[in-house]
Amino acid sequence: MLLAVVFAGTFAFLGVGSGNSGLDQLFSNIFHGGSGGTSISKAQKEIAKHPRQGKGYRDLASAYEAKSQTENAIAALQQYTALKPKDETALADLASLQGTQATDLYKQYVAVSQQQQDTQLGQTFGPSSTSTLGKALGTDPVTSAVQTSIGSQSSTVYGQFQTAAAGELATYQKLEKLRPNDSTTVLQVAQAAEQAQNTTVAVAAYKRYLKLEPGSQYAPQIKAKIKQLQPPPPKPVKKKKP
C-alpha cells in the first residue's frame, strides 16, 4: 500500500498531462522512430541481412509497438541502442516503453494484492471463522492453496515491476548524459528513480532540476518532495552532565 501511495503521488504532484514545459510527455507511451508500415517479418529479414546497422532493430521495435507487444518492442530497442548509444530519440522511446511496462505491471501488482487481501478477509470473517469447528480446523486446504498461489503471483509481479522500473531509470540516466542541461530529462530521471524506490538518485535529480529551473512553477512541490524523501537527520541527544 505504501508503494501505491508513492507511485500515485509521483504522477499527481507535478500534474503530468497538463501540457506545461513538455511534462505531458512524461511516462507517456509515445513512439517516434521507425517506419510505421514495416512488418515484423520484414524487419527480421533486415536484421538477418544487416545485423550491425541498427535499422532492422529500430523497425522491429516499431512493428512490435504497433501491435502493443511492449516487451518485444523494448527488447528490440535495447538491441538498437546498444548499436546506437547516442541516439537520443531512441533512448527516449525506450524509456517511455519501459515506463509503460512498469505502469502495467504495477496495476497487475495492485490487482493481485487486492485479491490476496480479499481472500484473507474472506477467511477471517467467513462463516467458518466463528464456528467451533472452523476454529479447530483453521484455514481449509483449498483456501490455503489459493492464498499461497496468489502470494507467489504477487511476489513475481512485484519483482517484474522492480526490474522494469530499474530499466526505465537506467535508460533515462543514459539520456541525461546526452542532455545534461535539459530540465525535462532531469525531471524524468527523478521521477523514474522515485518509482524505482531509489531515494538517493531521486533527491539528487530533483535538486539538479531546481538548479536548472529555479523559477519553475513546480519548485514548491519539488522542495516538499525532497523533504519527504530526505527527512532531516535526528537531533543529537544532549548528554547529561555527571
CATH number for the domain harbouring residue 188: 1.25.40
Q: Any residues with CB less than 8 A from the CB of 225 and at least 6 apart, and which? A: 13, 194, 206
Model pTM?
0.72
Q: What does each C-alpha distance from 195 to 192, 198, 215 come to in angstroms?
A: 5, 8, 25
Closest by CA position to 115, among listed 91, 149, 87, 139: 149
Q: Answer whether residue 180 is part of any domain.
A: yes
Give pLDDT, residue 18: 34
Quick check: is 222 in a domain?
Answer: yes
Provide the residue range defining the domain that includes 184.
2-30+85-124+144-227
Could you tell me if residue 176 is inside a domain? yes
Residue 98 placed within a domain? yes
- Residue 214 is which amino acid? P
Please list the ranges in the chain whose pLDDT falls under 70: 1-37, 118-147, 239-242
pLDDT in tens, 150-181: 778 888 999 999 999 999 999 999 999 999 99
Q: Is residue 48 part of a domain?
A: no
174 within domain boundaries: yes
Summarised one tens digit per residue, pLDDT across range 225-237 is: 999 998 777 777 7
What domain count does the chain have? Answer: 1
In a domain, 40, yes or no: no
Structure confidence at residue 154 (pLDDT): 83
pLDDT the model gives residue 199: 95
Whether 197 maps to a domain, the answer reads: yes
